[in-house]
């Protein structure tokens, strides 16, 4: 009798645990197609990177999905124990400039003033920046279908004045048009993206790169992406040696 009672109590305990587990907790899945590896914060605490699947207590939560160079997405989400919660987001690009408050002209159309969030479709686009007292800056970007990298920060130089003309030689030298090269190595070997466009795998030398600033990303399954801004100058080779860290489970 005592043994049967123990077995009954054990079954009831396991049943209670399973009931709590499946009724009072729920599964939340969060995916991001732009960029695919955005950070997820649940009630202000970092929970991992997308794609994220996690079982948490059934209740209301405040979820934020964000990544550097993109407009954060946030919403109040109800997690239920009776059905899974699925969230799919696509962050908008954050177009930035230094200094801020520059007029953004996107594909010939004035959009607003930086820093500003825009939804740019895949393809080639031109970005032009204007601000009183500064020289005009511009760049073009080929946006892939599922971009993982932000747009570069546009840096505007002060307009030439009689007083500053003597010192402008250094700025002019930095932005002298032409081509350079980028030499990339990594530990371990990884795919190389330049402004979101796949270039190949390390070790890699990218020749004939127009002068300017680029976002270089190293990516490998099972490792965190490595990002770095690369400055390409005329007739020079910019060398990047990246070390990727394994993703934590």
**What are the pLDDT digits (tens) for 89-99?**
999 999 999 89
For position 37, which CATH number holds? 2.60.40.1120
In the prediction, which pLDDT does 39 show?
A: 92
Owning domain of residue 114? 93-175
Classify residue 128: in a domain, yes or no.
Answer: yes
The reply to whether 55 and 118 lie within a common domain is: no
> 29-38, 79-88, 209-218: which has the minimum mean pLDDT?
209-218
pLDDT of residue 95: 92
The pLDDT mean for the chain works out to: 82
66 and 122 inside one domain: no
Q: Could you tell me if residue 137 is inside a domain?
A: yes
Does residue 105 lie within any of the structural domains? yes
Pairing of strands 123-130, 103-106: antiparallel
The model carries a pTM of 0.58
User: Taking 60 as the threshold, does the pLDDT of residue 170 lie above it?
Assistant: no
Give 16 or 167, the one with higher predicted confidence: 16
Count of other CB atoms within 10 angstroms of residue 29: 14
- Residue 61, pLDDT > 90, answer yes
What's the chain's length in residues? 249
Indicate whether 240 and 211 sit together in one domain. Answer: yes
DSSP 136: -
Count of structural domains within the chain: 3
On the question of pLDDT at 117 being above 70, the answer is yes
Same domain, 75 and 99: no
Predicted pLDDT of residue 173 = 39
pLDDT band at 4 (very low <50, low <70, confident <90, very high): low
Looking at the structure, do residues 142 and 183 belong to the same domain, yes or no?
no
The answer to whether position 249 is within a domain reads no
Q: Are 187 and 228 in the same domain? A: yes
CB 99 within 8 A of CB 105: no
Are the C-beta atoms of 213 and 174 separated by less than 8 Å? no
Kind of pairing between the strands at 237-243 and 179-187:
parallel
User: Which of 159, 175, 191 represents a domain boundary (last residue)?
Assistant: 175
Average pLDDT on 121-136 reads 88
Q: Is the pLDDT of residue 186 over 60?
A: yes
Same domain assignment for residues 192 and 206: yes
Say whether 111 sits in a helix, a strand or coil.
Answer: strand
Q: How far is CA 81 from CA 63, 85, 89, 130, in A?
A: 18, 9, 22, 52
pLDDT value for 169? 33
Q: Is the pLDDT of residue 14 over 70?
A: no
Single residue among 90, 107, 129 that ends a domain in this structure: 90
Is 11 inside any structural domain?
no
């Amino acid at each position: 009798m005592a043994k049967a009672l123990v077995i009954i109590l054990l079954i009831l305990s396991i049943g209670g645990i399973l009931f709590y587990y499946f009724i009072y907790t729920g599964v939340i899945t969060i995916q991001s197609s732009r960029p695919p590896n955005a950070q997820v914060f649940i009630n202000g605490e970092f929970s991992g990177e997308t794609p994220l699947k996690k079982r948490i207590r059934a209740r209301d939560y405040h979820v934020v999905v964000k990544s550097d160079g993109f407009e954060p997405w946030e919403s109040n989400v109800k997690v239920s124990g009776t059905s899974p919660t699925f969230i799919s987001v696509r962050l908008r690009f954050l177009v930035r400039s230094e200094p801020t408050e520059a007029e953004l002209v996107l594909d010939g159309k004035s959009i607003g003033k930086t820093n500003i969030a825009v939804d740019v479709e895949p393809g080639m686009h031109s970005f032009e920046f204007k601000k009183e007292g500064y020289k005009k800056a511009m760049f073009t970007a080929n946006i892939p279908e599922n971009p993982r990298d932000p747009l570069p920060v546009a840096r505007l130089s002060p307009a030439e004045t009689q007083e500053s003309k003597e010192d402008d030689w250094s700025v002019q030298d930095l932005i002298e048009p032409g081509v350079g090269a980028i030499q990339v190595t990594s530990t371990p070997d990884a795919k190389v993206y330049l402004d979101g466009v796949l270039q190949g795998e390390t070790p890699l030398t990218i020749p004939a790169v127009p002068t300017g600033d680029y976002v270089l990303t190293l990516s490998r399954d099972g490792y965190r992406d490595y990002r770095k801004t690369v400055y390409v100058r005329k007739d020079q080779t910019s060398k990047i040696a990246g070390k990727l860290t394994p993703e934590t489970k």
